[in-house]
Chains A and B, each alone.
Chain A
Amino acid sequence: MLYNIFIDPFVQMAQMPDLLVQTLWEGLVSGVLYALIALGFVLIFKASGVFNFAQGIMVVFSALTLVGFYEKFSAAGFSGHTAAFVALVLTAGVMFVLAMLVERVVLRPLVNQPDIILFMATFGITYVLIGFGEMVFGGDPKQMIASELFLPSGSVDVEMLGGMVSFQKIDIAAAVIASVMIAGLALFFQKTRIGRALRAVADSHKAALSVGISLNQIWVVVWFAAGLVALVTGIMWGARSDVSFALEIVALKALPVLVLGGLTSVPGAIVGGLIIGIGEKLGEFYWGPLLGGGIESWFAYAIALLFLLYRPQGLFGDKIIERI
Chain B
Amino acid sequence: MFYRETGQFKQSYAADQAVFPILQDRLGLAAILVVAFVIVPLFGNEFLLASVMVPFLILSLGAIGLNILVGYTGLLSLGSAAFMGVGAYAAYKLSTIFPGVNILVWILCSGFFAAGIGVLFGLPSLRIKGFYLAVATLAAQFFLQWCFVRISWLYNDNPSGAIEVPARTLFGLAITGPSATPVTRYLVVLVIVVGMTLLASNIVHGRIGRTWMAVRDMDIAAQLMGIRLLPAKLLAFAVSSFYCGVSGALMVFLWLGAAEPSAFDIKLSFLLLFMVIIGGLGSMIGSFFGAALIHILPIVIRGLPEALGLPIAAATVEHLTYLIVGALIIFFLIVEPHGLARLWQIAKQKLRVWPFPY
- A→B interface (CB under 8 Å): 51, 105-106, 109-110, 113-117, 119-121, 123-132, 134-135, 139, 252, 255-256, 258-259, 263, 291-295, 297-298, 301-302, 304-305, 308-309, 312-314, 320, 322, 324
Contacts and interface: CB of A to CB of B under 8 A. Distances in A.
B129 to A, nearest CB: 7
Contact of A109 (B220, B328, B334): B334
A305 B322 contact: no
A309 B123 CA distance: 10
Contacts, number: 139
A125 B139 contact: no
Interface of A is mostly: helix
Given A116-B70, A256-B139, 13 more contacts: A51-B131, A109-B334, A110-B334, A120-B278, A121-B333, A123-B329, A126-B326, A131-B320, A256-B135, A259-B132, A294-B146, A304-B136, A308-B128
How many B residues are at the interface, by size bracket?
35 or more
B29 interface: no
A320 B127 CA distance: 11
Given A301-B142, A302-B139, A263 B132 contact: yes
B124 interface: yes
7 contacts: A115-B130, A128-B327, A130-B322, A252-B138, A293-B150, A309-B127, A324-B218
A252 B138 CA distance: 9
A295 B329 contact: no
A125 B270 CA distance: 14
Nearest to B328: A124
A119 B321 CA distance: 21
Contacts of A119: 131
Given A124-B327, A131-B321, A259 B131 contact: yes
B304 interface: no
Contact of B277 (A117, A128, A294): A117
B145 A127 contact: no
A322 B220 contact: yes
Contacts of A263: 131-132
B325 interface: yes
Contacts of A324: 218, 220-221, 224
Interface in B171-228: 218, 220-221, 224
Nearest to B316: A135
A203 to B, nearest CB: 19
B115 interface: no
B324 interface: yes
Contacts of B220: 322, 324
A255 B138 contact: yes
B136 A120 contact: no
Given A124-B330, A298-B142, A301-B143, A110 B322 contact: no
Contacts of A312: 127-129, 132
A314 to B, nearest CB: 7
B76 interface: yes
Contacts of B36: none
A320 to B, nearest CB: 7
Contacts of B310: none
Contacts of A114: 337
Contacts of B143: 298, 301-302
B320 A135 contact: yes
Given A308-B128, A309-B127, A312-B129, A134 B319 contact: yes
Contacts of B325: 127, 131
B16 to A, nearest CB: 32
Contacts of B281: 116
Contact of A305 (B136, B273, B319, B333): B136
Contact of B322 (A109, A113, A131, A255): A131
A250 to B, nearest CB: 13
Contacts of B329: 120-121, 123-124, 127
Nearest to A323: B220
A110 B337 contact: yes
B149 A294 contact: yes
B150 A294 contact: yes
Contacts of A258: 135
A110 B273 CA distance: 19
Contact of A121 (B150, B315, B330): B330
A254 to B, nearest CB: 10
Interface in B84-138: 124, 127-132, 135-136, 138
A314 B323 CA distance: 35
Which of B132, B142, B325, B337 has the largest count of A CB atoms less than 10 A from its CB? B132
A145 to B, nearest CB: 24
Contacts of A252: 138, 266
A302 B140 CA distance: 9
